[in-house]
Amino acid sequence: MDNEFSEKRKPRRLGLIIFIVVLVLLILGGTMLIVGISSLARGGQVKVKTNSTLVLKLDRPIQEMPADPFAMRFFGARVHQFAELHSAIKRAKDDERIKSLLIIPTMMPISFAKAQELKKDIEDFKKSNKPVYAYFEITGNSGYYIASAADKIYAPPTAMLFLSGFYAEMPFLKDTLEKMKIEPQLYHIGDYKSASDMFMRNNMSEAQKEAMDAVLNTLYSHFVKGMCENGRFAEDEIKRIIDKGMQTGNFLKESKLVDDFMYAEDVENLLKNINGNKDNLNQIEIASYIKDKRSAFNVKAKNSIAVVIASGEIVDSGKGDTIVPERLNKLLDEAEKDKEVKAIVLRVDSPGGSGLASDIIWEKVNKVKKTKPVIVSMSSVAGSGGYYISMGADGIVAEPTTITGSIGVITGKFVLRGLSDWAGVGWGMMKRGENADLFSQFQKFTPEQEQIIIEHMESFYRDFVTKAAKGRNMSYEEVHKIAQGRIWSGEDAIKIGLVDRLGGLDEAVEFAKEKARIPSKKKVNIKFYPRQKTVFESFMEMSREEISLMILKTISPKLFDIYKKEGTILKMMEKEPILYYVPEEIHCN
């Protein structure tokens, strides 16, 4: 009997043992996976050799937010964060291991405002008396503009340069939508508010032409002057070169666009001699140099300035490359509560978005500035909702070529009834409430509903202008005169009182120090929010939609941009007033 009982228990014990072993293996495997991913996040140690050349290769998109480490590790995404580039060049200026800088521009598009900041960083680097060289094989406007800061520019004889100036274009879909039997019922406050024109018109309005013409004049003027700063060209000279549109062959050398024809290997040999290493060229790409924390700036400084990044469309909720009130306001709270932080720089790069979300962020900025000064640093674009979240700050700094303003409102809906009728889809409706169908996509606005929409927009616009007037110490009439949805360059915006100073992140930090009564010569730490996530943190926070979008962005960045731009406008127009400007109209590459 005992033997029989023992025989029955053996399989049970064996099963229990197998279960425990499997469980332990799963736990160990999971732990090893987490450790593995975490180690990927940390990456290998970076060693910067003495007598090195820092290589600034402009072959990646430059964005304001920290790069997603999971996307970079597993999807091959390659991006630069602007703040990291900016800080790395500043560090290299005083790093005795770095003997020279090599700029390699490509055809990668770079917004002109960011190109201006990078060019200033390189000009500042040159004050260390370290030589700066540029080498390109094919590049365009913004790439060559940055390269023009170099002491010498080289290229192979077969190089191609597309130095062609700027142009603005925008599709108009009125006739297309008519053919599809889709009726846009979109309304805007402000003659210059043109984001909805692409659906309502088949050409540019006179107001849009006027505003765009002024912006292009500013961009072109700074483009020309910037390339003449080092005495390489006279303004008339460079304008004639630009008008050629494409520059190749002997023309590159004859017109002083390059100092000499060289191939990459020749440039490397030149740098060997300059650095004092005749046998080997010690070089480190800026993406690797960024990871070297040996000489972090001002780590012993007593006071800190927080730089809080607000980049992307402004939406009520969501993840990814967007500005969400809950997320951004949490970062502002963290910076406000940090006792070492004496002032906050809000770095804004946004075409706008949800009116409601913009107002919630505006309110938070106003609350935070009661305890600590808040200065806004505008990047490439801070228009519409991007200006809304900026206008309550203690001061605003913008690059001369930043796109800002666009104080106006858009809302409405797309009526799909014609399309559904054409497709033979029948619709029935029952409702409780006279205007329950206000945003139905299969019913046109009634005259009463149209009046409801317009009154709501007018109320929102008055509130927008009133708050802008209060933030800028202007009258309502003064702001209304320069509002009405019009975009302005930073250079023009300072003349009309929408911004306080011209410059980039450094100028904004200095402004913040002034407001915090920190002497200009006194060093400060710069703390960036949000911090760089680890690979594991990034993976755990991702939704299925974000993974899908990441795959789309990796496969086709152009399709991703179209999805983000068109999708944002279409989705937000269905629900509430939006504050939006379409920045893709201006092309600088």
Do residues 372 and 316 both lie within one domain? yes
Q: For position 581, which CATH number holds?
A: 3.90.226.10
The reply to whether 4 falls in a domain is no
Q: How far apart are CA 501 and CA 512, in angstroms?
A: 12
The reply to whether 403 falls in a domain is yes
289, 323, 351: which is the final residue of a domain? 289
The reply to whether 434 falls in a domain is no
Tokens of 488: 């302005």
Give me the pLDDT at residue 576, please. 62
Cβ proximity of 530 and 66 under 8 Å:
yes
The reply to whether 206 falls in a domain is no
The reply to whether 17 falls in a domain is no
SS percent in the chain: helix, strand, coil, step 5? 45, 20, 35
The reply to whether 432 falls in a domain is no
At residue 452, does pLDDT exceed 60?
yes
pLDDT tens digits for range 125-148? 999 999 999 999 999 999 999 999
Mean pLDDT computed over 113-117: 96
Do residues 532 and 563 both lie within one domain? yes
Give me the pLDDT at residue 28, please. 46
Do residues 281 and 330 both lie within one domain? no
Which of 195-199, 244-248, 326-330, 336-340 is predicted with the least confidence, judged by mean pLDDT?
Answer: 195-199
Do residues 251 and 276 both lie within one domain? yes
237, 263, 289: which is the final residue of a domain? 289
| Domains held by the chain: number | 2
At residue 15, does pLDDT exceed 70?
no
Give CA 340 to chain center in angstroms.
Answer: 27
CA 202 vs CA 69, 173, 182: distances in Å: 43, 6, 15
Q: How far apart are CA 248 and CA 236, in angstroms?
A: 20
What is the extent of the structural domain holding 573?
A: 304-410+447-587
The residue with greater pLDDT, 14 or 505, is 505
Q: What pTM, to 2 d.p., does this model score?
A: 0.85
Do residues 275 and 325 both lie within one domain? no
Dihedral pair phi/psi, residue 173, rounded to 5°: -110, 15
Q: How far apart are CA 342 and CA 307, in angstroms?
A: 11
Do residues 360 and 472 both lie within one domain? yes
Do residues 319 and 358 both lie within one domain? yes
Do residues 466 and 357 both lie within one domain? yes
Mean pLDDT computed over 184-209: 90
Do residues 258 and 153 both lie within one domain? yes
289, 312, 343: which is the final residue of a domain? 289
At residue 309, does pLDDT exceed 80?
yes
Do residues 518 and 576 both lie within one domain? yes
Do residues 470 and 378 both lie within one domain? yes
The reply to whether 526 falls in a domain is yes
pLDDT tens digits for range 362-375? 999 999 999 999 99
Do residues 285 and 311 both lie within one domain? no
The residue with greater pLDDT, 399 or 586, is 399
At residue 232, does pLDDT exceed 80?
yes
At residue 450, does pLDDT exceed 90?
yes
The reply to whether 426 falls in a domain is no
